[in-house]
Amino acid sequence: MPELPEVQTIINGLNSKIIEKKICRIAEYRKGTVENSLPNMDYGKVKLVERRGKYIIIKTTADCKIVIHLRMTGKLIFEVDSDKQSKYCRAEIFFSDGSRLIFDDVRTFGKIQIMKKNQAVPAIEELGAEPLSDQLNPEFLSKQLKNRKAPIRNLLLNQNIIAGLGNIYVLEILYRCKIDPRKQADRLSLKQIEKIVGQTKIVLKEAIEKNGTTISDYRSVEDQSGQFQNFLRVYQKKKCKCGTEIKRIKMAGRSTYFCPSCQQ
């Protein structure tokens, strides 16, 4: 479900709600949701919540970190009211003051991993550039796309190249760059690559300012939806600004929207 801006919004919320709270227990309600949790484990107090790509990393004062990936439909909801239940609650992190973090996930693809502080998560180690850092620049992206025959839209979805983009933002970025999502990556000009880098940063920053997109599943930790959907120009749209019908095709099994007249 969530892409970088949604994950960042959740992290901002967590950093304002759970810092210094002592974790007393992590409960798993669906097998496979929580990995490596041990009974009577000391989780310590929450020190900081960080993001890497679409991963949420909760660092604590104990020798552990809690690594969360929401996948398609995962939500983290901070709840003070002990009576409130969520419908698809798969796990809960309880704090000593009675508040808790609910991990709600309809499709059950999401995961919570308990790791040692210095233990590497292989999938995180392999992630590509953070799009909002200087790591993502035209030289880097040119190098990554060199000799790659796959369509640009598929490679922008590859987390090991740029970490944090998903289907919606990739399509918005390509639309704003006027680049056909089917375009073979190694046939892009340097100018087009520069455009992609620039628009990626602009679109993500704008979306974070709007607290993320909401199509259906995304909610902030306070159960609020985002506003960026009002700014989408191509995803699930019928018509382009130019008057042309937006085309929807399948690429790598997933819906791809683009304007056949603006995007070349």
Where on the chain is the footprint of DNA (CB under 7 A)?
Answer: 1-3, 6, 53-54, 69, 71-72, 88, 106-109, 123, 147-151, 154-155, 157, 159, 166-168, 185, 212-218, 226, 252-255
Least Cα distance to 233 among 184, 158, 176 occurs for 176
Active site includes 2?
yes
Q: Which is nearer to DNA, 23 or 234 (CB)?
A: 234
Catalytic residue among 30, 191, 239, 254: 254
Q: Which residues contact 258 (CB under 8 A, 6 or more apart)?
A: 171, 174, 175, 180, 181, 234, 246, 247, 249
Beta carbon of residue 252, minimum distance to DNA (angstroms, whole number): 5
Q: Is 3 known to be catalytic?
A: yes
Q: Which residues of 159-182 are buried (b: 16+ CB within 10 A; e: fewer)?
A: bebbbbbbbbbbbbbbbbbebbbe
Least distance in angstroms from the C-beta of 158 to DNA:
8
* Contact (Cβ atoms closer than 8 angstroms) between residue 234 and residue 257: yes
Nearest approach in angstroms of CB 133 to DNA is 17
Has 59 been annotated as catalytic? no
To the nearest whole angstrom, how small is the minimum distance from the Cβ of residue 75 to DNA? 10
Report the residue number, 239 or 254, with the smaller CB distance to DNA: 254
Active site residues: 2-3, 54, 254
